C-alpha cells in the first residue's frame, strides 16, 4: 500500500520550495506528498501493450454456451 501525506498549508510557506505565480489567488493550499517510485517498482507497472490482441476472441456465442453448460454440470 502506498502511503501519502496530506496537509493544508499557507502558500507563503511554500514560496521557497516551489514556484507559486504572483496571481495565485488562494492563501491556503492542499499538499499531497507521495513517495517517488523506484525503477524496480516502475518495471512492475501495467504495460497495456503486453495485452494487445488478447480481446480478439472468435465465436463468442459458442464459447458462452460452452461456459454456461460447464456451470450447469
Residue 41 included in any domain: no
Give the total number of structural domains in the chain: 1
pLDDT number for residue 5: 92
Residue 56 included in any domain: yes
Instruction: List pLDDT tens digits, range 40-72.
Output: 655 667 777 767 666 667 777 888 888 888 877
Give the pTM.
0.44
How does strand 5-10 pair with strand 28-33?
Answer: antiparallel
Q: Within 13 Å of residue 18, how many CA atoms lie on the same side as its CB?
A: 9
Domain limits for position 58: 5-35+46-72
Residue 51 included in any domain: yes
Residue 31 included in any domain: yes
Instruction: List pLDDT tens digits, range 20-39.
Output: 888 888 889 999 998 887 76
- Residue 7: pLDDT over 90: yes
Amino acid at each position: 500500500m502506498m502511503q501519502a501525506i496530506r496537509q493544508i498549508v499557507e502558500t507563503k510557506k511554500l514560496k521557497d520550495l516551489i514556484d507559486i505565480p504572483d496571481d495565485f489567488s488562494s492563501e491556503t493550499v492542499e499538499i499531497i506528498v507521495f513517495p517517488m517510485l523506484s525503477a524496480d517498482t516502475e518495471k512492475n507497472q501495467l504495460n497495456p501493450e503486453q495485452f494487445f490482441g488478447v480481446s480478439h476472441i472468435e465465436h463468442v456465442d459458442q464459447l458462452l454456451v460452452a461456459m454456461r453448460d460447464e456451470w450447469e454440470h
